Structure formats: structure tokens, C-alpha cells
Amino acid sequence: MIEINNLTKTFGSFKAVDGLSLRVEPGEIFGFLGPNGAGKTTTVKILSGIMRPTSGSVSVAGFDVAARPLDAKRAMAYIPDEPFVYPKLTGWEFMRFIGDIYAVPLHDQKKRIPGLLDMFELTAASGELLESYSHGMKQKLLIASVLLRRPRAVLFDEPTVGLDPKSIRRFKGLLADIAREGAAVFMCTHILDMAEKLCHTVGIIYRGRLITKGTVEEVKKMTAAPGVRSLEDVFLELTE
Amino acid sequence: MLPVLLVRKAVTLRNALLGLRGWKLIKNLLFAGVGMLMLAALYTGFWRLLNYLEGVELIGPMLSWKLTSMVLLMTFSMVIVSSIIISMTTLYYSFDLKFLFSCPLDSRSVFMDKALETVFYSSWTLILAILPYIIALGRIKGLDFGFYLAYLFLMAPFVMLAGAFGIFFSMLVMYYFPSSKTRDVTWMLGSLSVGFVYVVFRFSRPERLLRPDSLEVVAQYIQYLQSPTAPYMPSWWVTKAMVAYSAGSWGAFAASAGVLCGVAGALYLLIYHLAGRFYMRGFSGAQGSPRFKGRRETLPEQRLGARYPFLRPSLTLYWKDRLMLARDARYWSQIILIAALVAVYLFSIRQLPLDSPDIKSFISFLNVGVAGFVMAAIGLRFTFPAISLEGSSYWLLKSAPLTTAAVMREKLMVSLLPSLAVGFLLITVSNHLLGADLFISVLSTFTILVAAVVITVMGIGFGAVFPDFNVENIHQLESSYGGFLYMACAMGYLSLLVGVEAWPVQMHFAERFGRDNPWDPRAVALSAALFAALNAAAFYIPWKAGVRNLERHEL
């Protein structure tokens, strides 16, 4: 479960996130939508523990991220919008590194890593240094590393940027699987079509404030404008 | 198109200067102020030296010009080597190159823009460092302000000629071997040449040139002074032009300056022409990555981590750093430079003109401070940047279930053993060369081992107080505000360390000189207490500040 209570983050006089509160239940895929600079990345960074809130609190899998950061981080997986990884490690070594850091038993790593690499078609490149990987390959490797550690909460920031169509389709299936296994999924995305088809609930953030949240159908009903049919129409109307 | 590219650099500089406000402005002013103080100290030293040389009867003026030609030759060589190292990055791996190549710009203009960047980055520190020498020279020779203007005018073609070597080298190497592996080889070759120039220069014992008594025949010495220093090098053309200016021989000045500007102009025209043919092929080749085939093996640290789970996070970070350091040519090139530094240091100790055993032992004690300085300089290259070199990948550690202190402890673990080894090597070999007595040998060895730990902790601590995860190379970190503060604090710590131990050392020498009851137990106890307190503070404060700052650091 992911819980955000009255979260505010300011940079100088600029309020990036303003009094945000929401909750993502285990097994739920939540799509966090908003235009550029609305506060999505800031929110997900605070959830992951790499940024501190100005006020309010966030908790992941029942652990307050500020008070019990290690427990919270052990239970979650975070993938940022830019897949920066260690350029001088190979794909195989990177998977082992993540496995070791998140205390995945050695025999488990040896058994599961080849399958995960295979799933993302990275087996042939797994002995090469990550500096030679493309953006999409790095993204796939990060997603594979998420599956290795079986987290209880997953935070994705624009996860499909750089992925090829085949990988995007596979990713959608995996996301549904992760949720089915009971993890809470928090996903920032610009791809409204994907959010509409994949997410159980969506929230729209605009200028730091959550302007709407609910199931896709509920959000669609929130606008009375004639001719509104898709989530994209709602999004554009609410954020203009 | 080149003017458009140069204007963007000017605008960037203007924006950076206008962005200096509040604490940022104070920090930069402070930094600049301390830099000016250091330049002033250099000026005082050069002024004394030149004043002494100029005062030597008959040959004084010749001596100072000879020294000037040597200084310029050395500067020229150093700019060449710097340009070889820097040009590869600026010409083929700058962040903005992909953008520039996607713009409707002619590749020659892009190349010249990056060539000028190479000349600037490879020369500005050296030009700044010899400025106090030139000012002192002008004052000693009683020259007017025009001399400095002439010097600045001559420096432009001078550094452009030196930088052209690196630019040519990179352009040709990348044309014939268009691969990213070439960059690693160039870094290694560049560092090897710096180390080589440094060691050869020191081992040639230049101090002898300033001591006429070391040469047998006076006439030989005068002939040596009058002969040109590397007559076909631009450094000699600059010297000739400066001599001509000081003598008021405008024709000779114009001739030397003309040769300098003419050759520089011709060389850059050639570079401009060749860039059209060579640049694109090299740039395109640089985009690829070298082939590497890693094995799927379980590392010793992983086996150890499986047996002792509480050590697993530290061991994991350790094997990650170990593999990355071993595969990064930048670190290996740094190690070559350090080996040269250590060799020159030990050679200088051996060359010290010391006769009496008492003086030798005393110098062995003071040597702790100098060896500590060498270790701090090494720490500035290896330990201080350790945190920042996590770079853009730091988010992985920040979002992982690891404490900041655990990350810093692992960085300490990587650096500590090499620091202790270098410290031990420096002090034991120096003590052996100097023939230090047992007391001094034991005291200095113990002190340097403690200092090695403290200096390494300070390096990690300061690195965490001033992290910069966006730097392109280690040199930017070394010359940063944090790097400067680390060195200043390490120097302060070493001075106090030597000061605290001076008391028992003084009693030891009193005993050697035969004084009755020289040992005062209270003084020894006080000295030991101060030693412990100093080391505890130098260990604890930077470490604690580093942990606190890195915990608060947001990505």
C-alpha cells in the first residue's frame, strides 16, 4: 500500500506539490497524470526517499518513508524517467548487484536472473558493459531488476519511454501480473491511452494540486463538456 | 557559423556570472580571494628569486632571461600534454556535440569551436600560474605596463600553438582508429607523458643550473646561458620577443611576434582545412562502445556476503566499485601520475644536501608533514571524488535500503588500504634514505599511519559535504571549492599534527645532545592528549558533516 498525506514540497517560493493526499491499495495500478512541471516526478521522488517533503508524510507498505526509510525502501522498487545505471558494469553484474543490495538469496538470483534477461531479450547483451546499452535496453534491464526483488510497492516514472512496441506490450502484461501478486503500483505517465486501458484508478495533478482522482470511468464523468469521450479529453479540459 | 557558436559561450558565461547571488557569490568571492592570496605568495617567491638572479654580477640579466625561457618551455610542454588529454573529450565526447551535429552547422565550425575550447581548458590554469612570474620579471627589469600587454598579446598564439599539438593528435588518431577505445589509450598515453616529463625534469636536477659552482668552466656556463633554449620552439620565440621589448628593439620584437602569429595562423588554417575531411569520421567512430565480454561468475565478495549476511551490503558496494575502477582508464591514468609523484618525492628526499645525522633525523620528523601533503594530494584525486563519481547513478543507492553512512563506509574501505600503503611506503623509504634514528622512525611511522586514516576519512567526509553528481571528469572536482577546502583543511591538520609532536621530539633531541633529564612526563602526556584530541576532531567532524549533508542531499 502507498499512502500520501497532505504532502507539500516547495523549492524556494515555488510550490511543486501542494497538500497532496491519496492512497493506492495493494493490487491497484494507479496512473498519476499531469502536464509537464505539474509535480508528478517530485511526488514519486519523495515516495522513493530520494527527496524529502517540506511537510506532510508518505508511507510505503506501512512504513513511513521519513521515519523508517530502510524498511520502506526494502519493500519498494523505483524506476526513474532517465535510466541511469553504472556504465562499467555488465547487464548480468547489474542484476547481481541489485539482487545483493535487496538481499535476494544467491541461489534465487542464479535461478531467476537468466529467465528475466531472456524475457526482455537481453541475454545476448548481458555480458556487455551498460555504457553500450541503448536507452530502451537500460529501461528493460531496470524493469527486469524490479521483478527480481518482488517488491510490495512499485513506483514508475514514465516507464515506457524508449521501449519498443513489443516491450511495451510485454511491460503492460507484467504490470498487471505485478498488481495481481498484490503489489501497489504508482505510475506517472503521459500516455493517456495506456493509463485508460491499464490503470484501475487515475489521478490528475495540476500545478502541484490533485484536481481529480477515481476510476477512469469516474474521472470521465467529472466533466460535463459535450463530446467528451476519452481520458485525453478530460485531461485536456481539466488542465487547460 | 563559428561566431554564432562563440556568442553562445559568451552568453553562457554571462548567465553564469549573473546567477552568482547570495551564498553562491560569497563562496566564489572567497574562493577567488584565496586564489589571489596564493598568486600573491607565488609572486613574492618569484620576485625574491629573480631579484637574487638579477643581482648576480655580469651574468644577472642573462640568468633571469634563461630562467624565463625555461619556464616558458615547461609551460609549453605542459599545455601540449594537457591538450592531448583534454582534446579527446572536448572534440569527440562533449555533451553538446550530438546536438551541434544535428544542427545545420558545417563540421569545420563545430571543430574550431571545440578546438578553441580545448586550448582554453588546457592552458588557463598554467597561464594563471606563471602570471606572478611575469609580473615579478617586469618589475625586476623595470618595464612599463606595455610589457604586460605585449606578454598577453604573445600568449594567445603561444597557447594556440601548444594546444594545436593535442588537437592534431586527437584528430589524426581518431581518424585512423575511430573507436571509443582510442580515448582510453589516449588518456593512458597522456598520463604517461605527464609522468615522464615530470620525472625527467626532476631527475635532470634543474637546481644545478642556478648554481654556477656546479659547472667546471665559467666560460661554459656563460655560453650555456647565452644559447637559446629549444630555438625552434614557440617558447623561445616568446622569450626573444620579450627580450627585444625590454631592450626597446621594436624590429626584433615584431620579427619574433610575427613568426609566432604567422605559424599559429598557418597551423589553424591547416587544422580548419583538415577538419572538413577528418572530423566526421572520427566523431562517428567515437559514438560506438568497445566490445566487452563479461563472465557470469560468483565473486569472492558475494560468497563472503552469503556466509556473513550483515556484511552483504558493504561487500556488494565494494565489488561494484572494484570492478568499475578496474575497467575505467581514467583511474589507471591517475595512478601513473601518482607513481611519478611518489618517485619524484623519494628522489628529492635522496638529493637533500644533509650531512649531520641529527639534521637527518630532524628532517625525517618534518617529513611527516610533507609525506602527509603528498597523501592529501593523492586523496584529492581518489578519495575526495569517490562519492561524486557515483554520478547520475547515485539514485540507485539513494533509493536502495542502505544508510548514507554505510555508503560512505564502503567508500572509505576502498580508499583506506591504498592510503595506508602509500603512507607507509613514503615514510619508511624516506626514513631509510635519511638514516632516521629509531625513535623518529617509530614516531613518524605511527603518525603517518594515523594521518593516513584521518586524511582518508576527511576525503570521504568533504566529498560528501560537497557532492557533485553532474561532473564530467575528476579534474573538475579537484579544482572545485570543496576540493580546495579539503586540501586547506588537510594542510591545517598536518601542520597541527607536526606542531603537537614537536614537544616530545624536542626532548628526544635534547637527550641526543646529552642534556640531563630532558623528558618531562607531563609535557609528553599533554602532547599525547592533544594528538588524540586533534585526530578525533579531524576524524569526526568532516565525517559527521558528510553523513548529515549527504542524507539531506536531494536528487
Considering CB atoms only, which of A89, A110, A131 is closest to B289? A131
CA distance B10 to A34: 37
Residues of chain A found within 8 Å of residue B321, distances taken between Cβ atoms: none
Closest-CA distance, B501 to chain A, in angstroms, reads 44
Do A127 and B296 count as a contact with CB atoms less than 8 A apart?
yes
Residue B122: its H or E element:
helix B107-140
What pLDDT score was predicted for residue B139? 92
Tell me what the mean pLDDT of segment B425-441 comes to: 89
Torsions phi, psi of B236, nearest 5?
Answer: -75, -35
CA distance B209 to B416: 41
pLDDT in tens, B148-172: 999 999 999 999 999 998 898 888 8
Closest-CA distance, A120 to chain B, in angstroms, reads 18
Considering CB atoms only, which of B289, B313, B396 is closest to A129? B289
Do A103 and B298 count as a contact with CB atoms less than 8 A apart?
no
The verdict on residue A157 lying in a domain is yes
The verdict on residue A19 lying in a domain is yes
Reduced to 3 states, what is the DSSP secondary structure of residue A60? strand
pLDDT in tens, A9-34: 998 888 999 999 999 999 999 999 98
Interface test with A, best of B314, B319, B397, B554 (most A CBs within 10 A): B554
Highest mean pLDDT among A113-122, A162-171, B29-38: A113-122
Reported as a pLDDT band with limits 50, 70 and 90, residue A166 is confident
Q: B415 with B383: CB under 8 angstroms? A: yes
Residue B265 CB neighbours (<10 A): 12
Tell me what the mean pLDDT of segment B279-297 comes to: 79
DSSP letters, B361-412, are HHHHHHHHHHHHHHHHHHHHHHTTTTTGGGGGGHHHHHTSS--HHHHHHHHH
pLDDT in tens, B324-365: 888 877 677 677 777 877 887 888 887 777 777 777 788 888
| B128 pLDDT above the threshold of 80 | yes
- The more confident residue out of A84 and B290 is A84
Interface test with B, best of A50, A104, A154 (most B CBs within 10 A): A50
Do B327 and A88 count as a contact with CB atoms less than 8 A apart?
yes
Tell me what the mean pLDDT of segment A77-104 comes to: 92
CA distance B418 to B158: 40
What residues have CB less than 8 Å from B408, skipping those under 6 apart? B387, B460, B461, B464, B543, B546, B547, B550
CA distance B119 to A223: 61
- The more confident residue out of B109 and B230 is B109
| A224 pLDDT above the threshold of 70 | no
Residues of chain B found within 8 Å of residue A96, distances taken between Cβ atoms: 302
Q: B186 with B173: CB under 8 angstroms? A: yes
User: What's the grid cell of residue B21?
Assistant: 547571488
Residue B308 CB neighbours (<10 A): 9
State what percent of residues in chain B have pLDDT above 90.
33
Those residues of chain A whose CB sits closer than 8 Å to some CB in chain B are: 45, 48-52, 69-71, 73-74, 78, 80, 82, 84-90, 92-93, 96-97, 100-103, 105-106, 110, 126-129, 131-132
Q: How many domains does the structure of chain A reveal?
A: 1
State the CATH number of the domain containing residue A32.
3.40.50.300
State the sign of the Cα–Cα–Cα–Cα dihedral B398, B399, B400, B401. positive
Look at A142-146, A226-230, B408-412 and tell me which has the smallest mean pLDDT: A226-230
CA distance B189 to B181: 13
Residue B458, judged by CB atoms within 10 A of its CB (0-12, 13-18, 19+), counts as buried
Whether residue B295 lies within 8 A of chain A, CB to CB, comes out as: yes
Residues of chain A found within 8 Å of residue B316, distances taken between Cβ atoms: 97, 100-101
Q: Please report the number of interchain residue pairs, chain A to chain B, with beta-carbon separation below 8 angstroms.
A: 97
Residue B359: its H or E element:
helix B357-382
What residues have CB less than 8 Å from B4, skipping those under 6 apart? none
Residues of chain A found within 8 Å of residue B298, distances taken between Cβ atoms: 106, 110
Residue A16: its H or E element:
strand A14-24
| B213 pLDDT above the threshold of 60 | no
CA distance A109 to B29: 53
Give the CA distances from residue B232 to residues B239, B263, B455, B549, in Å, rounded to whole numbers and listed in that order.
12, 12, 45, 54
Q: What is the dihedral of CA A96, A101, A107, A111, to 10 degrees?
A: -50
- What's chain B's average pLDDT? 85
| B209 pLDDT above the threshold of 70 | no
Tell me what the mean pLDDT of segment B261-287 comes to: 89
What pLDDT score was predicted for residue B181? 66
Residues of chain A found within 8 Å of residue B287, distances taken between Cβ atoms: none
Closest-CA distance, B22 to chain A, in angstroms, reads 13
Contact residues, B window 319-378, toward A, CB-based 8 Å cutoff: 320, 323-324, 327-328
**Angle between the N-to-C axes of helices B481-512 and B357-382, in degrees from 0 to 180, rounded to the nearest 10:** 160
Give the CA distances from residue B465 to residues B81, B317, B552, in Å, rounded to whole numbers and listed in that order.
32, 20, 10
Considering CB atoms only, which of B288, B316, B327 is closest to A97? B316
Domain enclosing residue A159, as ranges? 2-83+151-238
Interface test with A, best of B184, B295, B301, B320 (most A CBs within 10 A): B320
- The more confident residue out of B208 and B375 is B375
CA distance A25 to A216: 16
CA distance B8 to B3: 9
Residues of chain B found within 8 Å of residue A73, distances taken between Cβ atoms: 399-401
Do A51 and B401 count as a contact with CB atoms less than 8 A apart?
no
Tell me what the mean pLDDT of segment B214-241 comes to: 71
Q: A153 with A186: CB under 8 angstroms? A: yes
Q: Where are the domains of chain B?
A: 59-286, 327-552
Q: Which of B429, B424, B473 is nearest to B191 (CA)?
A: B473
Instruction: Identify the closest residue of chain B to A124 by CA–CA distance.
Output: B293
What pLDDT score was predicted for residue B25? 84
Reported as a pLDDT band with limits 50, 70 and 90, residue A216 is confident
What residues have CB less than 8 Å from B517, skipping those under 6 apart? none
| B550 pLDDT above the threshold of 90 | yes
Closest-CA distance, A215 to chain B, in angstroms, reads 29
- The more confident residue out of B526 and B293 is B526
User: What's the grid cell of residue B131?
Assistant: 602570471
CA distance A61 to B251: 83
Interface test with B, best of A60, A73, A84 (most B CBs within 10 A): A84
Torsions phi, psi of A14, nearest 5?
Answer: -90, 125
What pLDDT score was predicted for residue B227? 64
Reported as a pLDDT band with limits 50, 70 and 90, residue B217 is low
What pLDDT score was predicted for residue B229? 62
pLDDT in tens, B442-476: 999 999 999 999 999 999 999 999 999 887 667 77
User: What's the grid cell of residue B277?
Assistant: 575531411
| A148 pLDDT above the threshold of 80 | yes
| B382 pLDDT above the threshold of 80 | yes
pLDDT in tens, A48-73: 999 999 999 999 999 999 999 999 99
- The more confident residue out of B23 and B537 is B537
* One-letter amino acid for residue B407 of the chain: V
Do A48 and B396 count as a contact with CB atoms less than 8 A apart?
no
Look at B130-144, B175-189, B330-344 and tell me which has the smallest mean pLDDT: B175-189
What pLDDT score was predicted for residue B348? 80
Report ipTM (2 d.p.).
0.91
CA atoms within 13 A on the CB side of A111: 6
**Which is it for strands A201-206 and A63-64: parallel, antiparallel or unpaired?**
unpaired
Closest-CA distance, A158 to chain B, in angstroms, reads 16
Tell me what the mean pLDDT of segment A182-201 comes to: 88
Closest-CA distance, A217 to chain B, in angstroms, reads 34
- What's chain A's average pLDDT? 89
The verdict on residue A231 lying in a domain is yes
| B219 pLDDT above the threshold of 70 | no
